Structure 1
Amino acid sequence: MRVLLTTYAERTHFLMMVPLAWALRTAGHDVRVAVQPKLAGAVTGAGLTAVPVGHDRDLWDLLRRTGPEHLFGVETGWPAPYDTAALSTPDWDHVLRGYRDIAVRWHKTSNVPLINDLVDFARWWQPDLVLWEPTTYAGAIAAKACGAAHGRILIGEDVFGLTRDHFLRLRPDGAPDPLGEWLGAYARKYGGEFSEDMVTGQFTIDQLPASLRHRASLEHVPMRYMNYGGAAVVPDWLSTPPSRPRVALTMGLTAHDRTGGYPVDLQDVLDAVDGLDVELVATVTPETRLSRVPSRTRLVPFVPLTALLTTCSVAIHHAGVGTLASTALRGIPQLTLPWDVDQPTLGARLAAQDAGISIHATEATTEGIRDALVRLLHEPAYTKGAAHLRDEMLAMPSPNDVAGHLAARRGS
């Protein structure tokens, strides 16, 4: 079976696709990954075959030049209409206005640079299956153009599928469909017609356990999350067991890489740990300015996350899906300091099952962080909740299982 994966140029989203790509490859399938040229190095660095397509227009470059309100209309959070995804009673006018004025512009910025070259490659290579990141609609367009089966690989909460549920349920007869009209124009350009699978795929691969996700009314294929962060070397100091409880602190890659800062004041977090009988390992960039570094604190620019978490009693992080899922797989209580996108929702769901505590980054104080950390270290309920979440995730099908499922549905 020939399998084509594609994502717009967001490295962290690609990294979440790698375990399934390798599962398909080791099962004997021919796997290619079509990305914009600047992401090709990340693909080949993962040992996969890259297909550079399109040109390197970058959504984040545009946001830095114009401000997030240019495309999103808001300073933080999902752009409308995706901010309504978790609501039971969203407003139709808000959903329509979001698709019309914000979301389609966002998707055009990410997708238009990919589409023509991706369709040309798909028509030439003739994949049996196309798997696409949930906002890389170029993948659905290319699949329709070449007649391939296709599905989405989620990189967090399915806000896109949930929003589409709301849209279809609320849409009055004859009302416009800005997203469908945009995708339909490309379908017709390549000889087809719009269908709903161009928005949400023929199926959806979901890497979150049921207790952490809002599920859209679609065919979901569960798959256990597996951490892949790129090439890494485990430092020697990690081989020595800590003499006191070790706490990991990481606020992820995307926020600092894309905006040049963190949504929470790292000094506040370090001050919260100062004086506790713990060892803190914090991943911070060399540019980060700190006025005080507590004793028993190790600052490193990078350390392999899974290797670090194996030695930790608690992790403090931003509730990014990769960090949260990696921590959950090791049964470790978590203190999340979420800021935007699906982070607040994931943090709240984690806290609801006593697998952690969540404090929004805008409300995080030294005192609040310290109190939460002490509770996570000493209250057995959190260790029990984290273990339950770990067991739930371990019971999910592995990438190898899902690779077999995908082959079977293609008749291979």
Structure 2
Amino acid sequence: MRVLLSTYGSRGDVQPMVGLALQLRALGIGVTLSAPPDREFSDLAAAFGIPFAPAFMPVREWVANARQAGSKLPLLAGEMVGAQYDALSAAAQDCDIIAATGLFPSTAAARAVGESLGLPYRHVSFCPLLLPSDAHRPFEYPGWPHPPEMTDIGALWRRNIEVMNALFGEAVNRHRRKLGLPGLDNVRDHIFTDRPWLASDPVLGPWSSDQCDAVQTGAWFLPDDRPLPDSLVAFLEAGTPPVYVGFGSMAMEASRDAAQVAIEAIRTRGHRTILFGGWAGLGLIDGREDCFAVGEVNQLALFRRVAAVVHHGGAGTTATAALAGAPQLIVPQVVDQPYWAARVAALGIGAAHDGPTPTSASFPSALEIALSTRTGRRAAEMAGSIRTDGAERAAQLLAEAAR
């Protein structure tokens, strides 16, 4: 038996799939991972000995193209569906089932590969926000805001079908016709399927819906037993717990002074800072010894030793900080990140920054909430309720589906 895991997106889309791949391998199941051929992703797969099938192009290159294209999302979708289909169909030749997540055109390609080759297909989402539910409004695609007069959640989800048809329908159906597959009146529900998988923690992101019978497995964590670098350990032990600041795969183009704003506010509160550069290229603002720059490290081990975690609100970082018992301050940027910011605030384990741009006026008050005794106590209490068996459960479900 062999499983093709397909994803197209940032590290937050790739790393959980590597965690699932390891659980599949533990069951004696072969696995191939298809992900963007950016060096960080191919290296991640190689580090765990996971066979890697490159997707159609590096995601950083695609993101740069998307910025230049502006409102031409349907055009980009059309290019992705066809190119990704070619990449995935080659990778799937010896596979028995496909599980796919990431950008919608990529999952549409994976679904078409499954249909063309007669393979079962499972759609994966890492956030409840993206699946139809009576508990929340749909994600607003750029250029397609919710009509102010439309307040009924059911009506908004029905409109969401129309929006996704407008954005992706022509590209998906044009490619399906080329393959001899039937056209779709509702691309969203066909690609999501009537029983998608939701790989999020039930406490952090609870699920309820009369519209979608999702299977919530719990978050998929990638086991990491790497020790922290000696220089980082020395910094941690040289004083009180610092505040971690990192925005992962977010470029933070509207916040070029994000590092300075964060460090100055943290200093005002009497704390030190650990700064992760990431895609935003955050750097130290001076030579003072109360700040330390890190690269890619064992996040869970680090988060267990910090006073708070300031981040962008990706599903993986949010779950890891919650598992570590670290208070969070989320500065949400795109898609599901405002959802996770709101959840962290509602649970009392952190603060949600008001908007995507931290300033000297907005950031300190949110930081104060994250560093409060009450928030710290609540975060520590909740850590034990975060499930860590989500990838194991998903692997078992895949094994059963492929039999």
Q: TM-score range by the shorter chain?
A: 0.7 to 0.9
* 1:261-305 Cα deviation digits (max 9, x unpaired): 856621011111114333321223696465446552222344332
Change (3 A) 1:246 1:405: same
* 1:178-224 Cα deviation digits (max 9, x unpaired): 64454344334334324665420353232323454475632322233
Structure 1 residue 334 displacement after superposition: 0.8
State the partner residue of 1:199: 191
| TM-score normalised according to structure 2 size | 0.77
Q: Are 2:269 and 1:267 equivalent residues in the alignment?
A: no
Residues in 2 aligned to 1:107 and 1:160: alpha-carbon distance in whole angstroms: 20
Q: Are 2:138 and 1:145 equivalent residues in the alignment?
A: no
Residues in 2 aligned to 1:117 and 1:229: alpha-carbon distance in whole angstroms: 28
Residues in 2 aligned to 1:177 and 1:274: alpha-carbon distance in whole angstroms: 48
> What letter matches 1:146 in structure 2?
L
Q: Are 2:297 and 1:303 equivalent residues in the alignment?
A: yes
> What letter matches 1:192 in structure 2?
L
Identical residues among aligned pairs (%)? 20
> What letter matches 2:304 in structure 1?
T
Change (3 A) 1:303 1:55: closer
State the partner residue of 1:334: 328
- SS of the aligned residue for 1:234 comes to coil
Aligned length in residues: 371
Q: Are 1:252 and 1:323, in contact at CA under 8 Å, matched by a contact in 2? A: no
Residues in 1 aligned to 2:87 and 2:260: alpha-carbon distance in whole angstroms: 46
Structure 1 range deviating more: 383-392 or 2-11: 383-392
Please report the RMSD computed on the Cα atoms of aligned residues, expressed in angstroms.
Answer: 3.6
> What letter matches 1:138 in structure 2?
A
- SS of the aligned residue for 2:262 comes to helix
| TM-score normalised according to structure 1 size | 0.76
Residues in 1 aligned to 2:315 and 2:118: alpha-carbon distance in whole angstroms: 32
* 1:317-338 Cα deviation digits (max 9, x unpaired): 1212221111011121111122
- SS of the aligned residue for 1:17 comes to helix
- SS of the aligned residue for 1:329 comes to helix
Structure 1 residue 139 displacement after superposition: 0.9
- Unaligned segments of structure 1, at least 5 residues: 72-101
Change (3 A) 1:201 1:262: farther
Residues in 2 aligned to 1:356 and 1:302: alpha-carbon distance in whole angstroms: 23
Residues in 2 aligned to 1:318 and 1:15: alpha-carbon distance in whole angstroms: 16
Q: Are 1:161 and 1:200, in contact at CA under 8 Å, matched by a contact in 2? A: no
Q: Are 2:6 and 2:99, in contact at CA under 8 Å, matched by a contact in 1? A: yes
Residues in 2 aligned to 1:155 and 1:184: alpha-carbon distance in whole angstroms: 26
- SS of the aligned residue for 1:28 comes to coil
Residues in 2 aligned to 1:111 and 1:326: alpha-carbon distance in whole angstroms: 32
Residues in 1 aligned to 2:364 and 2:156: alpha-carbon distance in whole angstroms: 42
Match of 2:394 among 389, 397, 402: 402
- SS of the aligned residue for 1:47 comes to coil
State the partner residue of 1:251: 246
* 1:362-389 Cα deviation digits (max 9, x unpaired): 5633354334334433332x13432454
Change (3 A) 1:193 1:158: farther
Q: Are 2:123 and 2:197, in contact at CA under 8 Å, matched by a contact in 1? A: yes
* 1:351-407 Cα deviation digits (max 9, x unpaired): 012111111355633354334334433332x1343245434422x643112211222
Match of 1:377 among 368, 371, 387: 371
Q: Are 1:36 and 1:114, in contact at CA under 8 Å, matched by a contact in 2? A: no
Residues in 2 aligned to 1:132 and 1:265: alpha-carbon distance in whole angstroms: 34
In the TM superposition, 1:177-192 aligns within 5 A as: 179-192=168-181
Change (3 A) 1:118 1:231: farther
